[in-house]
């Protein structure tokens, strides 16, 4: 009985040590990604997005693009343009000829475009996951689980190109069963940008007759 107990302790200790090593490996890789992202003046990404909830019989797929510079961004997605100038978010929907202006809600439990490449830095536990070969590229996955037990997010898988240290894929699973997948098709850095790219021109949309609401 004593021998079995000692064996159990030994196996548990090895398991904890292995888990610790995996967590450290995962954190080290994410640190490499973070430092790489922060070294760029700006980033332009073209992506494919899918949202699926089997229980609710929902499946949507679409393409989009986003330009990031620090916290600022311009996102083109689902027929709308969203601009964040560092203070407010402007959502422009040409189909409805409508603009919505609102303050950023820091407490919202989601991955905003400006945090898409850095959100994992805090608030998560890390775990080393599978390695995939995608067209000759080695994509290492890291699994993130929120530390906050009240989070609406169950887990996030980040697929990282081991050579470039760029994020290739993000798979977010919600507690409600919704799975959101973002796959990066193009990743460009340090592009020439217009000085007014992240500036919202309200008069331009007023002249077009757009309905402007402030939340």
Kindly list the averaged pLDDT for each block of 10 residues, start to end, along the chain of length 215.
Answer: 45 40 84 90 93 86 92 92 93 96 69 68 88 95 90 91 94 91 94 96 95 92
- Close Cβ partners of 68 (under 8 Å, ≥ 6 residues apart): 42, 43, 44, 45, 113, 114, 116, 117
Q: What is the pLDDT of residue 1?
A: 53
Q: What is the pLDDT of residue 168?
A: 94
Residue that has been written with the tokens 């887990």 in this structure = 155
201-207: list long-range contacts, CB under 8 Å, 24+ apart: 202/99, 205/92, 205/99
Which region, left, alpha or beta, applies to residue 41 given φ > 0 means left and ψ of -120 to 50 means alpha?
Answer: alpha
**pTM score of the predicted model:** 0.81
205, 68 Cβ separation under 8 angstroms: no
Q: What is the pLDDT of residue 169?
A: 93
Give SS3 for 25. helix
158, 169 Cβ separation under 8 angstroms: yes
Q: What is the pLDDT of residue 75?
A: 94
Identify the DSSP state of 181.
Answer: E
29-34: list long-range contacts, CB under 8 Å, 24+ apart: 29/140, 29/142, 29/160, 29/162, 29/165, 30/120, 30/121, 30/126, 30/142, 30/158, 30/160, 32/165, 33/117, 33/160, 33/165, 33/166, 33/167, 34/117, 34/118, 34/120, 34/121
Identify the DSSP state of 18.
Answer: H
What is the distance between the alpha carbons of residues 52 and 65, in angstroms, rounded to a whole number? 20
Q: What is the pLDDT of residue 13?
A: 38
Which of 163, 209, 206 lies closest to 187, judged by CA? Answer: 163
User: Domains in the chain and their CATH numbers?
Assistant: 26-214 (2.50.20.10)
Q: Where are the beta strands (DSSP E) in 70-152?
A: 72-77, 80-84, 88-93, 98-103, 124-134, 137-146
Q: What is the pLDDT of residue 205?
A: 95
Q: What is the pLDDT of residue 18?
A: 38
């Amino acid at each position: 009985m004593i021998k079995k107990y000692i064996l159990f302790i030994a196996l548990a200790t090895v398991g904890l040590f292995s888990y610790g090593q995996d967590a450290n490996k995962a954190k080290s890789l994410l640190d490499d990604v973070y430092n790489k992202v922060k070294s760029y003046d700006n980033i332009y990404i073209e992506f494919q997005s899918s949202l699926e909830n089997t229980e609710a019989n929902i499946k949507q797929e679409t393409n989009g693009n986003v330009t990031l510079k620090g916290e600022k961004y311009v996102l083109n997605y689902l027929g709308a343009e969203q601009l964040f100038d560092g203070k407010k978010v402007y959502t422009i929907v040409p189909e409805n000829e409508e603009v919505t202006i609102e303050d950023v809600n820091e407490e919202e439990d989601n991955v905003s475009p400006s945090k898409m490449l850095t959100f994992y830095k805090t608030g998560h536990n890390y775990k080393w996951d599978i390695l995939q070969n995608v067209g000759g590229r080695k994509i290492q996955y890291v699994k993130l689980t929120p530390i906050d037990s009240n989070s609406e997010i169950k887990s996030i898988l980040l697929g990282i190109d081991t050579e470039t240290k760029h994020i290739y894929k993000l798979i977010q699973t919600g507690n409600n069963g919704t799975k959101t997948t973002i796959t990066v098709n193009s990743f460009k850095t340090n592009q020439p940008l217009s000085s007014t790219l992240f500036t919202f021109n309200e008069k331009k949309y007023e002249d077009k007759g757009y309905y402007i609401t402030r939340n």
